[in-house]
Every structure is written in C-alpha cells, then in structure tokens.
Amino acid sequence: MADIYIDCEWIGGDYLTILGAYSYGQNRFQLYSNTLTKNRLSRFLNLCSEYSGKSDTFLFCHGPDIGKIESYFGIDLKAKYYCINTITAFRTYTKLKDVSLSHLETYFRIDRNYVLSLQEMPTLWHSPNARDRKRVLNYNWEDCINLWKVVMQLKQKYHVTPGDLKKIAMST
C-alpha cells in the first residue's frame, strides 16, 4: 500500500504556488514555479503507487488541497486513488474538538522547525533572497512530514485501518 501525504501552499489566494508530497522511500518531492506541472505530479503519483497497485494508494491532505489540485490541473484524483481529508478522519475516528494541523502537532508532541504566518508567506516567497524562499519550501515540506506523523498517530493510537479510511474517502 502506498500512502502519499500532500500539502499545498496557495500564496495569493487560489494561485497554487507550492505542491509538496511525501511518500515513504521517495526523495523529497516539491513542485513550484516552472516545475509545477500536471505531468510531474502524475509521474510522482505513478511512481509511488507502482508497487502497491493504484487501487491501494491513499492520498492524504489536511483540508481542501485534493479538490483544489484537481481543479488546478484538470485531473480526477478521486477516481484513481483513495483521497482522505485528514480533518474528516480525525473528526470521524477521534473525539478531538480541534483538528487543525497545528493543534494535532501539539497534541501528539510533534516538533516543528518552521512556523510561518499567512502574512509572512507571500513576503518571503516573493523576496529576492533565496534563503527566504527556502524557508517557505521547508515549511511546506515540514507540513508534509508532520501530516504523515499525525496520520501514523491516528492509525496507531485510534486503531484506524485502511478499511476505515476507505469508508471516508472522497468521492468523485
């Protein structure tokens, strides 16, 4: 089974700026600027799901990113993969009231090296300083990794199974 953890940054409203995706055993994967293409995303998803078979591939996001990616690229991820909004998963299988990623990180004691506000992101991303842009990329990557960590907690502490996740998968 391939699990892929996706996080997007939408700097400036609905403009997809960065798409990060983590899957165990794969190199760091982030698309932005000229690399932000449907073809590159499709190749990565196919590579990750190659060994497990597409019918057993889960795409995890925290919020509306899957739907926004589908609209942005004109693709139907929900028809090909089990797409799981982790907000729905935590609301369904836990009694936690606050299921924001930042709260889940605190609740499960998951460290974070990069903390950026919505106001800081555009300034840093559009800065001429490459180090500022790198901070935004590192923040996005940390979101992907921490999303994986909170899903591991959901599976281990709350005994949520792939079958449970399939029940709440987004439909087309």
- Given a cut of 90, whether residue 15 has pLDDT beyond it is no
Name the token pair of 83: 């797409």
Give the residue from 164, 172, 3, 147 showing the smallest Cα distance to 92.
Answer: 164
- Given a cut of 60, whether residue 53 has pLDDT beyond it is no
Architecture of the CATH domain 2-167: 2-Layer Sandwich (3.30)
- Given a cut of 70, whether residue 89 has pLDDT beyond it is yes
- 88-92, 112-116, 146-150: least confident range: 112-116
CA distances from residue 38 to 34, 69, 125 in whole angstroms, order as listed: 11, 9, 22
- 4, 48 Cβ separation under 8 angstroms: yes
- Residue 170: half-sphere exposure toward Cβ, Cα within 13 Å: 24
Q: What is the pLDDT of residue 86?
A: 98
> 67 vs 56, which has greater pLDDT?
67
Amino acid in position 159: H
Q: Residues for the chain: how many in total?
A: 172
Q: What is the pLDDT of residue 141?
A: 97
Query: pTM for the complete prediction?
Result: 0.94
**With bands split at pLDDT 50, 70 and 90, how would you rate the model's confidence at 36?**
very high
Segments making up each domain of the chain, as ranges:
2-167
The whole-chain average pLDDT of the chain stands at 93
